[in-house]
Structure 1
């Protein structure tokens, strides 16, 4: 089967499954709404902040506060894109139609990544502009140093979260098992490792902790992270690559 036909088939699968459409919609709404709320609260609290907190005040990063929950929906999207076929048994039909398993998986990942990137970039720009509107006089401008990089980086971050989830789901095949591992990993384990002094140096190399660096414009005063915004995104990309390679290897080795 030609690559274009495989890509077209994967696009049809994704857009015909209501759950994937709803999860992307939820990612947009949650990220923007929560970002606006946190930005409005930050504006009201700015005058009561300490001098130290004001020096570390990052209006751009604050407008992305909703991504902490928005990435939850992106994780679900990434898992569903891959594991839906396993849960329904359609994976056998798909692999019979496309025996080249690498082509099958890469086409699926490419289509889903393109969709996730489009939605994520639109969400990131909307979250920024609406968040800055809530911040009033404390707002940042898109032309300020580092701001455009952070806004584009926010879209890349959410996309990589989805792709990482696709790789993990390919390895585990089960949607429940995949979500059962990814949710605690990003929302519990990562936060614990990143905030406990004994494990902080390890936590900063986890995908979400490293990748979120791309959205920072103002570096916190006590930040001793040994990499910059693009370095952090690069670390996250390596995690994503490892997950995809692991998924591809297992897909080639085992039965459907």
Structure 2
């Protein structure tokens, strides 16, 4: 039964036109901005203060577009789930698959696998194009310590952002409400909390700020009480909580 439900969910995703453009936007924005920032960093590197040169992370620089690129995957994650609620198709889906745990598992799994593929493609493309912009004097190589972990981590980060968005959208059941909360949260609130001294300790434990640690080769926040895998674990906990909440809400509420 699960195999049939997985195929059904894959058909739903393919039939939604927004799937193609959201994935395309995620790749283009992430890679494009990464190339631009890498090129500008190369141009300005000689004028940087010595302490900034020491902290310069060529790998993380190539991921400069990840913050905007992730917004496209947030849209994808929300639409995969919430579109069925907005169109009323959720009643038909749950009638066809009355076991709600199976239904949610199949939907999340199918969209996550697609996000994983796109995330990995995006991360490796951003890395290689960004390093090409930095040039021989600054570029990092995939075999350098921590670099492969950071590049693979970039793909995992984008996958987890998508999963988190799907969990939130399942709980809220509205595409507009979900996007109205997630977009400001990741684009504004998280950045404000992370950059204001009084709230910086709180901001470190938000899913995006903790998760981005895995993409860093050179440690930027020396005061952070966790490393790359610690940050990744914090993000996993956020995703697990969102998916658990999604299951509880789907199980208890009527369609």
Q: TM-score, normalised by structure 2?
A: 0.99
Deviations 1:78-113 (CA, angstroms, capped at 9, x unpaired): 000001101111000000000000100110000000
What SS does the corresponding residue of 2:254 show, helix, strand or coil? coil
Map residues 161-240 of structure 1 onto 2, 5 A cutoff: 161-220=161-220, 223-240=222-239
**Structure 1: segments with no counterpart, 5+ residues:** none
Cα distance in 2 for residues equivalent to 1:93 and 1:105: 14
Give me the whole-angstrom Cα distance separating, in 2, the residues matched to 1:28 and 1:87: 27
RMSD over aligned Cα atoms? 0.6
In structure 2, list runs of 5 or more residues that go unmatched. none
1:79: which partner in 2?
Answer: 78
In 1, distance between residues paired with 2:191 and 2:53? 24
SS in structure 1 of the partner of residue 197 of structure 2: coil
Deviation of the 1:223 alpha carbon: 2.1
> In structure 2, the residue corresponding to 1:44 is in which secondary structure?
helix
Give the 3-state SS of the residue equivalent to 1:198 in structure 2: helix
Superposed CA deviations along residues 37-91 of structure 1, whole A, max 9, x for unmatched, are 0000000000000000000000000000010100010100000000110111100
- Alignment length (residue pairs): 254
Work out the CA distance in 1 between the residues paired with 2:59 and 2:113: 25
Describe how 1:57-96 pairs up with structure 2 within 5 A.
Answer: 57-96=56-95
Distance (whole Å) between structure 2 residues aligned to residue 186 and residue 131 of structure 1: 24
What are the within-5 Å matches in structure 2 for residues 36-75 of structure 1? 36-75=35-74
The 5 A counterparts of 1:147-162 are 147-162=147-162
Structure 2 residue 132 is matched with structure 1 residue 127: no
In 1, Cα distance between the equivalents of 2:124 and 2:191?
26
- Equivalent positions of 1:136-155 (< 5 A) are 136=135, 137-155=137-155
Look up the match of 1:246: 245
